[in-house]
Amino acid sequence: MIQNINKSINKQKQTFYTVNEVSELMKFLIAKLPDTSRNSIKSLLTHQQIFVNNQIVTKYNYMLEAGDQVSINKNKPEIANKYHGLRILFEDQHIIVIEKDAGLLSIATDRERQQTAYFILNQHVRNVNPKNHVYIVHRLDKDASGVMMFAKSIEVQKKMQSEWEKSVIDRRYSVVVEGKVEQNEGTITSWLKESIALIMYSYNFDNGGQKAITHYKVLKNNENFTLLEVKLDTGRKNQIRVHMKDIGHSIVGDKKYGATSSPLKRLGLHANILSFSHPVSNEMLCFESPVPFRFIELLSRR
């Protein structure tokens, strides 16, 4: 998607390329940046550092035309770092998509009301109009990080929540779990129910709970930890955390669901892909946040 943002661009910090033939943006960037990894290029897109004809582009499969000018901003734009604990990846009159840091609450609790993504974004939209408001569509745990979305009207909130499983095409997570997962890939299906103590319990039969389906694939492992790519068919509360416990490999740092270690000093859970149909325009949007370096570093240890 292209987002028009009026801001000055420091051309001395940019590299420029002219497109000679029709091409997808990702393929073009890979060819022009042979020493840069695919994840690093995705990071440039996510953090709004790629421009096509002086307009920010974040969609990896954006089609380039001959004569287009592609530029790479070496410094992250101010919009990406304006707020502590989150970065705005995309915003229009209907939705806001952000990248949340671990340690920031999604919404308020009895103990904390201001240090939340919800509070920060409400302040953000009210800078434009005091009557503006944001609405929760889904959540990320405080100690998890990654991509999440908010609505800017009750109507959009209700539509996204009621059509969530149909509208969300791809929702993937990077997950670090305890132990070495031997099975390279698998699917976990169970029914989840919440206890009075607010703990989700998993059952392998339909007992009236919410059906939850989680797919996982091993990306990397050592004797102590495994990095998984997890894809959800359903979005239930604590679904990944419960299902990782079900297969005997709790997420690192997740004491609530059986973890005995916390090498990252946070939850080993990162929402790195959110792809969905825009609730108003029906345009397909895809946002990616790279796997945290600390996850990769942990798996590199012996």
**Would you please indicate which residues are annotated as catalytic (active-site) residues?**
141
Spatial separation of the C-alpha atoms in residues 256 and 273, rounded to whole Å: 25
CA distances, 27 to each of 32, 36, 54, 74 (Å): 9, 12, 19, 20
Q: Is the dihedral of CA 177, 180, 184, 190 positive or negative?
A: negative
Within a 13 Å sphere around the CA of 152, how many CA atoms are in the beta-carbon half?
A: 20
Spatial separation of the C-alpha atoms in residues 16 and 224, rounded to whole Å: 44
Spatial separation of the C-alpha atoms in residues 170 and 1, rounded to whole Å: 16
Q: 252 and 262 in contact (C-beta within 8 Å)? A: yes
- The C-alpha angle 155, 161, 167, rounded to 5 degrees, equals 100
CB neighbours (10 Å) of residue 7? Answer: 8
Spatial separation of the C-alpha atoms in residues 234 and 238, rounded to whole Å: 11
The letter for the amino acid at 42 is: K
Q: 46 and 288 in contact (C-beta within 8 Å)? A: yes
Question: 149: which DSSP letter?
Answer: E
Spatial separation of the C-alpha atoms in residues 15 and 72, rounded to whole Å: 5
